[in-house]
Amino acid sequence: MMYIDNILFAVILIVGIGFFTKNVIKLKRNINLGQKVNRTDNPSARWKNMAMIALGQSKMIKRPIAGFLHFIVYVGFVIINLEVLEIVIDGLFGTHRIFSFLGGFYGFLIGSFEILAVLVLAAVIIFWIRRNVIKLKRFVGSDLKVWPKNDANYILYFEVILMSLFLIMNAFDMNPEKMHGGNIISQFLAPSLDLFSLVSVEIIERSAWWLHIIGILIFLNYLYFSKHLHILLAFPNTYFADLNPKGQFDNLESVTNEVKLMMDPNADPFAAQPVDENAIPQKFGAADVQDLNWVQLLNAYTCTECGRCTSACPASQTGKKLSPRKIMMDTRDRMEEVGRNMDANKGVFVPDNKSLLNDYITPEELWACTSCNACVEECPVNISPLSIIMDMRRYLVMEQSAAPQSLNAMMTNIENNGAPWQYNQQDRLNWKND
């Protein structure tokens, strides 16, 4: 019977990890749909970003209540799941609390895990109340309907179940002495022998043990479909974030080269290399996810949907249609749609007459942005909705000449008069005669 349990455990473990690996491969493929961009410069600053922001939660604590609660859940969930290593060994080899030989240190670890489990339960309940009872403004919006709203609650329920199973597993352990006094919380949940038979106690403990590890594997595989993918992606996302000062935009290389050629009196325009007729011409800006760079697509998958960006956005606060959070969610949704298209066509994308622009994100949203960088500053994991907005604006202006009339007039005046205003350059100093 023991061998059957071990084999069953191994099968469940292999299936769970195998499905997760399959989704990681798909995730990597979707991110690699983006254009190449070099983010390997200044590794020391990048490692510091990752340590301070992803690991140290430094931007989360700017909002103390949410930051403190999130820190408890983050630390508690990560540390408690260190116990998974013991569960895996026990499950594969038929042992019971294999690390109990550590004695008092093991008891200290179990006690710490139990305290953290209770703190996580308390924090999760407060999160649920903030989201579903108090209904904080940033958790209520047109972009948080149906799935996004349910997804956030599902994660909270998952955490409650996993923490409760951990405590129940300890409370019903038939050999509490193996915990070396670490059951400082679960001992108060321990059953009375008058209420449960020894067989019942063992069944409950084993059931909680199995459900706990199966629940962890389910949660691991659920991450791909959830906003909580940021648990894994926050680390690479902060490492590969743009290190340039906020507000500094990159120049399109193709445009830069063209301008240099025009301004060089010694340049020979006919000396350029022959163009590959089979090559796909590069777009100015972005109309679809394949036109964005891979870091922007990584940003979309890392988005926590916390709404800090939208709550800080001046355009959103004044009733404009723009929501930086929706920009990231739409980018991820379109990326997933493209991925499903490739899955259905043996890894090749078949044009579907859709694009990120217009089908997901409207020009009205893009032009509502003031480019103030508030969304970038607020994001707890260094996501930049503004970079996507600006690239899509570039497409509208440079590919479709579809800027608002006032902006088109300004650019025409700059081109003709060297100034945003509609008067001749020779008249620019007439104001001093008034």
Range of weakest confidence among 88-92, 245-249, 264-268: 264-268
Q: Which one of 135-139, 167-171, 176-180, 233-237 scores highest in mean pLDDT?
A: 233-237
Query: HSE (CB half, 13 Å, CA atoms) of 56?
Result: 10
What value does the mean pLDDT take over residues 229-239?
A: 94
- CB neighbour list of residue 309: distance below 8 Å, 6 or more residues apart: 324, 325, 328, 374, 375, 376, 378, 379, 383, 385
Q: What pLDDT digit, counting tens, does each position of 377-415 carry? A: 999 999 999 999 999 999 999 888 888 888 888 888 888
Question: Could you tell me if 202 and 123 are in contact, meaning their C-beta atoms sit under 8 angstroms apart?
Answer: no
Res. 274: pLDDT tops 60: no
Mean pLDDT across 236-254: 88
pLDDT at 281 over 60: no
Q: Cβ contacts of residue 291 below 8 Å, gap of 6+?
A: 35, 283, 285, 391, 395
Q: Which of 306, 298, 302, 299 is nearest to 325 (CA)?
A: 306
Nearest Cα to 103, choosing from 178, 174, 185?
Answer: 178
Higher pLDDT, 326 or 141: 326
Predicted TM-score (pTM) above 0.85: yes
- Here the tokens at position 191 are 């059953």
Which of 170-174, 259-263, 367-371, 408-412 has maximum average pLDDT? 367-371
Average pLDDT on 5-33 reads: 94
Does 257 have pLDDT greater than 80? no
Checking 156-162 for CB contacts under 8 A at 24+ apart, the result is: 156/124, 156/127, 156/128, 156/131, 158/215, 158/219, 158/222, 159/73, 159/77, 159/120, 159/121, 159/124, 160/121, 160/124, 160/125, 161/215, 162/212, 162/215, 162/216, 162/219
Task: Name which of 240-244, 259-263, 280-284, 355-359 the model is least confident about.
Answer: 280-284
pLDDT confidence of residue 256:
81
Residue 362 has pLDDT above 80, yes or no: yes
Asked if residue 354 has pLDDT above 70, the reply is yes
Mean pLDDT of the region 270-296: 75
